[in-house]
Structure formats: C-alpha cells, structure tokens
Amino acid sequence: MSIDLSQFKQTFIEESDEGLDVLESGLLALDSGTADDEVIHAVFRAAHSIKGGAGTFGLNEIADFTHVMETLLDEMRDGRREISKEAVNLLLNSVDVLRELMDAARDDSSPDMSRADDVKTLLDVMLSGENAAEQTTEVVSDSAELSAEMKNRDSRQTGWLIKLHPHEHMLRTGNDTVRIFKELNTLGDMESTADLSGLPELLHMDPELSYLSWEIILKNNAELGDIKKATIEEIFEWVEDDCDLLIEPLMSETSEISAEELSGEFLPSSADTAAGSVTEDVLQSHIDVLMVQDDDSVTTDNKTVSSSEQSTEKIAPNVSPIQKKSEKKKKPKVEGSIRVGTNKVDSLIDMVGELVITQSMLSQLGEHFSMGKLETLRGGLAQLERNIRELQESVMRIRMLPISFSFQRFPRLVHDLSQKMSKKIELKMTGEQTELDKAVMEKIGDPMVHLVRNSLDHGIEEPHVRLAAGKDEMGIIRLNAYHQGGFIVIEISDDGAGLPRDKLLEKAIEKGLVSPQDNLSDEKIYDLIFHPGFSTADQVSDISGRGVGMDVVRKNIKDLGGKVEVSTTPGEGTTFTIRLPLTLAILDGQLIQVGQETYIIPLVSIIESFEVDVSKINSIDRANEVYKIRDEYIPLIRLYDVFDVQPETTCLQECLLVVVEGDGGKAGLLVDDLLSQQQVVIKSLETNYKRVPGFSGATILGDGTISLILDMSGLLILASEMQSTPNYANA
Amino acid sequence: MNETAENTEGLITFDDTLDITMAATYHEKLTEMLNKYKSIALNGGEIDRIDGAGLQMLAAFFIAAKSLNISVKWQACSDILKKSADLSGLTGSLRIE
C-alpha cells in the first residue's frame, strides 16, 4: 500500500516553521550566554527533525543543508567545539537560509540555492577547523585574491536599476514613494522614470490607491562611493510586501563575464576546505566577504553577461531575493491555517450539542404549541440566545492565538540591531501567552517593530552615555502584554533617555503646530510625536524613521480600533502603550438615532454623553460651534448636517451630546437619541459597496436593517472640511 | 485651500499639505474645477509636504485636463513640490519648469 505523502507536506512545513523559531530563539539564548545545556540539545533536536522530515518529503536541498548545520551543532553539544559568537552568527544566517528554502517548498517553486550554497560552504569551512593554523596563510592569500576579484568586478558595475511597482494599497499603509525616492537619492545619482499607463482617469481613480510604477537608475557616485545592494534593500524593507521590486546591477559595457567566473569565486573552494581549515577570524572575514557578495548580488544563475549590445550600460541577468520573493507571491498562496488546542474544539462541540438540544426542544414546542406554553417558549428562546452567544465566544476563541507568535521576532531583531549599533541591549518579554485574534496579531506586527526599532535607535543610549549617566551599560527593552476589559494591552518600554520635552515643544512651535503662548501639558507635548510630518531629519536613521512615521503607527493602530499612548520620564525611559480590541470581527457599539437613521458609534470612541446645555455653546456661525466641557472647548458636530438627514428636532435642548475622540482630537456629536448598546458583527463597506468617508463599516441589526458604523477619525475630518466650507452647513 | 474664479479661469491654491490625508478633498476639488473652467491656474507655492498620492493625483489631473482641452498652468511651485516631482520622475507630466 502506498501512502500519498504530499497531503502531510504542509503540516511538515508548518511544524518546521516552529522548529526554525526554536532554532533561532535557542541560538539567540546561546549567543547571550544565558542558555543552559538543555538549550543546545533543543536546538540540535529542532535541526534534526527538520532534516529528517525534509528527507522524507524529498526536499533534498533542505535535508542536505540542515545536515551540515546538524553536524556543527552536534560538535557544540558534545563540547568538542566552543559555542562562539561567529558560530552562532553563522548558524543564525543558516536559519535565514532554511526559511527561504522552506518558503520555496511551501510554494512548490525552485529554491534559490546561491545563498544556501555560500552559507553551506562557510559551515563546511568552520567544520574543518581543527588544523586552522596551518591553513591560515592559504586562506589569507585567498582573501587577497578575493578582494582583487571583487575590485575588478566592481569596476564593471556602475550602479543599480530598480523597478518598482507598488501594490494598489501601498500608499494606504503609510508608505510613501516620495520618501523612498528621497532616501535613494542620498545614495548616488538618481534618475527615475514614471510609468503612468496604469493611471485611471481622474474621475474614476481612488486618490488613496497607487497606480504608478517606476524605473529608477541609481548610479554610483564618486564622492559617495559604490552603492551596496543591501543599502537599497534596506530602504525598501518596509514595503517589500507591498510592492513588486526588482533590483538589478547596472553594468558598463566591458567584457564578457562567464557564469564560471561569477559563481563561487569568492569563497574557498571545496577542494581548499577539504585540504585543511581556517581560524575563526579568517572565517569571519569570509563571512564579511560573503555579505558584500550578497549585497552586490553578482552570483548568477548560470547565465552569461554578454556585451554585444550597442548600449553603453546593460542589466545583468541576475535576480534579487526580493524579486524572487515577489515572483513567488504571484503564485497562488496556500491558505493560512491555525493550530487549535483540542480543548477549544471540544468546547465548540459541547456548544453545538447544547444548541441541538435547544433546537429540538423548541421544535417540539412548536408542534404542540398553545398559549399556556408561552413561558416555556420564552425560556427556550432565552436558552437559544445563551447557546448562540456561547457558541460565538467559542468560535472567536479558535482565532485567538498567544501574542508570543508576534513577540518571537523581536529577540532576533534586537540581537541584530544592537550589534549593528554597538549598543548593549537586553530584551525582556512578559505576558507572551496573552491571546488575541489572529487578524489583529498579523496587523499589529509592523507597528510594534517600528516602536521597538525606535526604542533601540532613539531610546536606549550608547553604552558610554549610559555609564556617564550612572546607568548600567546594558539597556533594557521590555515587551509586556495583558488583557484589560475587552482589550489587549501591549506595552513597549525602554530604560533609555526618554523623550526630549523641550526639543519637541520647540519643534512644534517652529512648525506652527502650537503657539508659544499655548500652555500644553507634558502629556500633550509628548503626544506631538504622533503628529503627521513631525518627524525631522535628525530623527531619521537607517534603523528607524524610514518610510513610516509615528503618525502611521498611530493610524494603523487606530485602523484596528485601538489606540497608542506614550509616557516618558527624562533620563529613565519611555513606554508606548497600545490598546487593541481582542477581535476585528465584532465591535461593542452604541446605537444612536439621527432622524430616521440608526448609526453605531464604537464604544471605545465614546468619552461621555449628556443633555445639551445651550449656555455652554459658543459659535461664530452654525458651521463653527464649540461646546465648553469643564475647561475645554470641543467642536460641535451636527450629525444631521454631516449626513444630510432630516433630524427629529433641531432644538438643541432636545438633543443629546455624545463626546467622542478620534485621531487625538475630541468632538461633540449632536444626536436625537441614544438607543441600546450591543455587540455588532462588522461587515466591510469596501468589500460590499465602496469606501465611504466617515464610516468604518456596516452591520445588520436585529430587525434586519443596515446600520452604518461611524469612523471617528474620518468623521472629524469630514466635519472639519464642511465647517471650513462657507454656507454649506446652513444650506 | 482657496478657489477663485475670474471669468473662465479657475484658480486653485493648495495649502501646505498635499498628501494622502488630503487626497480625497483635493480629488473632489480638482474634478470640480475640470467641470467648471476651460483654463485653470494652480498655485502650489505654499506646499511644504507632498507625497506619492498627491503627485499621482496631480498627474491624473494634468492628463484629464489635456483630454478635455483645458489649459492648466502653474502660478507658483514650491521647491518641495519641484523636488518631489523631479525625484518621482513626474516633472514632465506635471509640466513643472
């Protein structure tokens, strides 16, 4: 009997993803020296399982590659080899390679073996390291040849050709092409050509979608030096999932370069390595060379760069990893899956059982119904409602995953960036088992990365600065998550320098965001970092500040129905607190009535509500009214004006005022009546109709009518636009 | 944003920000201008923040104006507008000198 193994391949790949996470976190623990003996055993077992599974499924590239890793790990766990920083870094690179190979296996595409081969060679070199001293001279000599060859090669390459095709939604993610072009322009001489062929007519275009694509020629500049591919890729780091990107070397016409010349010449050959070995210092130099090689992407896939064309510059036919990634993305994706605990499934089955019993009871009641059984019917319906609510909760729990899935990327991020910035940083994580909806988790990842990068870059000081300030030279970044009400709270804090209050205020005054006379609380001053365009040049580095700003972080979190706040103590550190709903599918809403229409305000947006006191209204005209609440004036928004509906009354005394907040601002919404509060299932307007400013979605109420859900940020913008348009409000 | 009309020439003066947050507003205004006037002047002298969405919309506006035989000229262009258009390869499409 033969078994079709392909049905289990997806499960193997998912398990391998988890194995790779174990490998990575274990290696990071080994690197920081905090690991006990069990960690190296766990790392070895993870590699061993991946190798075994890969062999079973015929994924020989993965099996062969992991075999070399496993051998190195075996020597480390037996104590035959020291767990050195170089070895750990090489193994971390190997994990990255394995991830790429797994992605290819997932998509059933041919893996790009160039990087895998290079890293495998380095592993081989490290493994044959017993007679290092004897081979040092030979390899140093190899390195010298390598440099010469690279120099020679560089002379043929004049820069890079970048083909950028943003996906439609890219601009909406807060990523801006102009900012990207500005960054590119700092690297060399840039010339970009826009392709407008995809641009629809003005009338029919959605101004927030992206329709253009570009070809950018980025030439090396004598003063700025040769441009590394990694530097370009770093600029596109934030958008690599939101665009199709191709980065190709721009070659000057020189001579033919054969594939043989270009493949593998920068590393000791297997014959060399078989003959002997190298010291780890020399090996590290090879790793550096490999990184440069990877940057410049010279290794080709058995293709020949010929110079027969008439043009003076041409494109080498190699393909960048990002392009390959984009190509892979064009293939139909395997549907995502969730691993669910059996207890959750059991609970679901119990609920369905209860539901069937209730349904059966109601059916029987319906067959022999009389008015005397009315109370029994009511009881049955109440039971049905309870069952459905419990079933709903059980189903929602299935989508809930521990936030550790999101947290697990940070140890590597902190490890790599702290090395890059020569800072000493420890990452402490708590509350990793706190659960939230998978969809929320997927969307909160990028904003969290941005905040952690900010803490690394701007928060934690350099070791000598910390020592001078009387602090431990090791900075600490903490990630913490916990549930509070119907929300998950995520805190990202550092023990760094804190936000510079006076500098922020100075900049805000300079930019005209506040006037020098304004008496702002510290809280409001710190909140200025979330203001669009507040980022300044001196805040931008290659670690943070690229492509996406704090305003976008806040916008993304708001789009999830959450909020982000910052608190800071000068000299002691900064804490960002993110509050998110546990799920995006259901919202706690307040039903309000305006005329004959029923709208829904998300409860999270409501601060308070009360009857209108006319004496507290000040107005220049009806389009610009403010309401005084305690010591604060907030704009008054007449919803019937904004939505152009006939109100039940325009008499202010008969109206109710709902104070809401959105995008950092407050407003008072004038409504006819407050109805009930209830959980509503959100239906997308964009999917079912089109995007409508001021509304985040719609829902179907119990009586079958459709009710629109207000988007507070959009509504405040809509209202302010109307207020700035004379006569409209009184029309 | 100001909009004035003298005879058949419309003038649209952009505020300091022409980015995705303002894109919907300006999209409506620019479309309206194309419906109203045979000649339109743009004043971008105050623009100190413009992004890809803003530039793309202007490019679409120029294409639409050309197809409708409506003449469009810049009354003023800020340095940031010029630089951003140049970096984005849109100087020609936006007819910026």
The answer to whether residue A484 sits within a structural domain is yes
- Least CB-CB distance to B87: which of A185, A203, A717? A185
Average pLDDT of span B6-23: 85
Q: SS3 of A334, please?
A: coil
What would the mean pLDDT of A56-78 be, rounded to a whole number? 87
Q: Answer yes or no: are the C-beta atoms of B36 and B18 closer than 8 Å.
A: no
- Annotate B8-77 with DSSP letters as a single string: TEEEEE--SEESHHHHHHHHHHHHHHHHH-SEEEEEETT--EE-HHHHHHHHHHHHHHHHTT-EEEEEEE
Query: Which residue matches tokens 């309206």?
Result: B32
Q: What does the DSSP assignment read for A34-51?
A: ---HHHHHHHHHHHHHHH
Q: Give the residue-averaged pLDDT of B80-91.
A: 94
Encode burial over A462-475: b for 16+ CB neighbours within 10 A, e otherwise: ebeebeeeebeeeb
pLDDT at residue number A728? 28
**Which pLDDT score, from 0 to 100, does residue A505 have?**
87
Q: Which residues of B touch A176 (CB under 8 A)?
A: 19-20, 51-53
pLDDT: which is higher, A322 or A708 = A708
Answer yes or no: do A546 and A610 share one domain.
no
Find the domain containing A23 and state its range.
6-111
Mean pLDDT to the nearest integer, A366-383: 89
Asked if B4 has any chain A CB less than 8 Å from its own CB, the reply is no
pLDDT at A594: 93
Say if the Cβ atoms of A176 and B88 lie within 8 Å: no
Question: Which pLDDT value is given to residue A203?
Answer: 87
Query: Are the C-beta atoms of A405 and A441 separated by less than 8 Å?
Result: yes
Q: What is the pLDDT of residue A714?
A: 82
For residue A7, the model assigns a pLDDT of 66
Of the listed ranges A1-5, A377-381, A556-560, the least confidently predicted one is: A1-5
Residue of A nearest to B17 (CA): A533
Question: What residue ranges define each of the domains in chain B, with the CATH number in brackets?
Answer: 2-87 (3.30.750.24)
Torsion of CA A317, A320, A326, A328, to 10 degrees: 80
Is the separation of the CB atoms in A467 and A506 below 8 Å?
Answer: no
Residue B46, pLDDT score: 92
Using alpha carbons, select from A619, A642, A612, A618 the residue that is nearest to residue A712. Answer: A642
Higher pLDDT, A494 or A405: A494
Nearest to A693 among B20, B24, B84 (CB): B24
* Best CA proximity match to B41, nearest among B7, B3, B12: B12
pLDDT value at position A51? 87
Cβ–Cβ pairs < 8 A, chains A and B:
94
Does A286 share its domain with A407?
A: no
What was the pLDDT predicted at A13?
A: 84
Q: Which pLDDT band, with edges at 50, 70 and 90, does A663 fall under? A: low
**pLDDT tens figures, A140-194:** 334 444 444 444 444 467 888 899 999 988 888 778 899 899 889 988 889 999 9
Is residue A122 assigned to a domain? no
Least confident segment among A290-304, A638-652, A690-704, B78-92: A290-304
Residue A369 has pLDDT above 50, yes or no: yes
Cα(A701)–Cα(A239) distance, rounded to whole angstroms? Answer: 39
**What ipTM, to 2 d.p.?**
0.93
Would the pLDDT of A717 be above 50? yes
Residue A318 shares a structural domain with residue A386: no
Any A CB within 8 A of B20 CB? yes
Average pLDDT, whole number, for chain A?
77
| H or E segment and range at residue A665 | strand A665-671
Considering only CB atoms, B52 lies closest to which of A176, A193, A216, namely A176
Rounded mean pLDDT of A478-493?
A: 87
Instruction: Indicate which CATH number applies to the domain containing A47.
Output: 1.20.120.160
Q: Output DSSP code: residue A409.
A: T
Q: How far is CA A553 from the centre of its chain?
A: 10
In 3D space, the residue among A114, A711, A29 whose CA is nearest the CA of residue A411 turns out to be A29
Mean pLDDT of A469-477: 92
Q: State yes or no: pLDDT of A725 exceeds 70.
A: no
CB atoms within 10 A of CB B68: 11
For testing the chain B interface, which of A193, A195, A201, A202 should be mutated: the one with the most B CBs within 10 Å? Answer: A202
Query: Alpha-carbon distance A329 to A345, whole Å?
Result: 32
Q: What is the pLDDT of residues A695-708, one digit of tens each?
A: 888 888 878 788 99
Within A606-693, residue ranges assigned H as helices are: 639-642, 685-688
The token pair that represents A574 in the structure block = 């900064």
> Looking at the whole model, is its pTM more than 0.90?
no
Q: Indicate the residue among A524, A548, A581 that finishes a domain.
A: A581
- What does each C-alpha distance from A617 to A153, A225, A614, B45 come to in angstroms? 74, 63, 5, 38
pLDDT at site B39: 93
A130 within domain boundaries: no
Q: How confident is the model at residue A338 (pLDDT cuts 50, 70, 90)?
A: confident
Please indicate, yes or no, whether residues A595 and A631 belong to a single structural domain of this protein: yes
Question: Does B11 lie at the interface with A, CB-CB under 8 angstroms?
Answer: no
Alpha helices in A368-403 (DSSP H): 374-398
Q: Is A127 inside a domain boundary?
A: no
Per-residue model confidence (pLDDT) at position A430: 92
**Whether residue A543 has pLDDT greater than 70:** no
For the stretch B25-83, pLDDT in tens is: 899 999 999 999 999 999 999 999 899 999 999 999 999 999 999 999 999 999 999 99
3-state SS, residue A567: strand
**Within a domain: A33:** yes
B82 touches chain A (CB under 8 A): no
A578 by DSSP, 3-state: which? strand
CA distances from A676 to A152, A533, A599, A638, B45 (A): 75, 40, 11, 21, 51
Contact at CB, B88 and A194, closer than 8 angstroms: yes
* Cross-chain residue pair A194–B89, CB shorter than 8 Å: yes
In a domain, A65, yes or no: yes
- The answer to which of A4-13, A55-64, A554-563, B54-63 has the lowest mean pLDDT is A4-13
Point out the residue among B51, B63, B90 whose CB comes nearest to the CB of A194: B90
pLDDT of residue A511 exceeding 60: yes
Q: Is residue A86 part of a domain?
A: yes
pLDDT band at A3 (very low <50, low <70, confident <90, very high): low
Confidence tier at A534 by pLDDT (50, 70, 90): low
Q: Report the distance separating Cα A68 and Cα A124, nearest Å.
A: 7
Alpha-carbon distance of B40 to A664, in angstroms, equals 37
Burial of A244-268, coded b for 16+ CB within 10 Å and e otherwise, reads bbbbbbbbeeeeebeeebbebbbbb
Q: In this structure, are A188 and A292 located in the same domain?
A: yes
Q: What CATH number does the domain containing A602 carry?
A: 2.40.50.180
- Among A715, A716, A710, A691, smallest CA distance to A172 is for A691
Q: Which residues are paired to A629 by β-bridges? A: A632
My answer on whether A604 and A572 are in the same domain is: no
Q: What is the mean pLDDT of residues A652-672?
A: 86
Q: Are A579 and A504 in contact (CB under 8 A)?
A: no
**What b-and-e string marks burial along A322-340, b requiring 16 or more CB atoms within 10 Å of the CB?**
bbbbbebeeeeeeeeeeee
Instruction: Tell me if A730 is assigned to some domain.
Output: no
Residue B41 pLDDT: 94
Looking at the fold, whether A251 and A372 belong to one and the same domain comes out as no
Q: Are residues A574 and A597 in the same domain?
A: no
What is the C-alpha to C-alpha distance for residues A125 and A94, in angstroms, rounded to an integer? 14
> Could you tell me if A575 and A569 are in contact, meaning their C-beta atoms sit under 8 angstroms apart?
no
Residue A400's pLDDT band, with cuts at 50, 70 and 90, is: confident
Question: Average of pLDDT values for A664-675?
Answer: 88
Find the mean pLDDT for residues A202-221.
90
Asked if A383 and A416 sit in the same domain, the reply is no
In angstroms, the CA A295 to CA A288 distance is 10
Please choose, from the candidates A422, A556, A430, A580, the residue with its C-alpha nearest in 3D space to the C-alpha of residue A492.
A430
- Report the residue of A165, A212, A216, A552 to disrupt the B interface, i.e. the one with the largest count of B CBs within 10 Å: A212
| Contact list, A212 vs chain B (CB under 8 Å) | 52, 56, 59
pLDDT at A301 over 80: no
Predicted local distance difference test score (pLDDT) of residue A336 = 63
**pLDDT value of position A250:** 81
Span A622-629, average pLDDT: 82
**In the predicted model, is pLDDT for residue A316 greater than 60?**
no
Residue B25 burial (CB count, 10 A):
18
Average pLDDT of the residues in A408-435: 88
Pair type for strands A425-430 and A475-484: parallel
Q: Please choose, from the candidates A344, A449, A454, A444, the residue with its C-alpha nearest in 3D space to the C-alpha of residue A399.
A: A344
Q: Does residue A549 surpass a pLDDT of 90?
A: no
pLDDT at A294 over 60: no
Is A410:A429 a contact under the CB 8 Å cutoff? yes
* Rounded Cα gap, residues A97 and A70, in angstroms: 14
Cβ contact A289:A266 at 8 Å: yes
CA pair distance A220, A360, nearest whole angstrom: 77
Judge whether A119 and A97 are in contact, CB under 8 Å: yes
Domains contained in chain A, number:
5
Residue A529 reports pLDDT greater than 50: yes
| Same-domain pairing of A428 and A521 | yes
Average pLDDT over residues A275-289: 43
Same domain for A229 and A140: yes
Q: In CATH, what number is assigned to the domain containing residue A562?
A: 3.30.565.10
Residue, of A513 and A262, whose pLDDT is higher = A513
Query: So what's the pLDDT on residue A485?
Result: 67
Residue A675 or A268, more confident: A675
Assess whether A192 and A326 both reside in one domain. yes
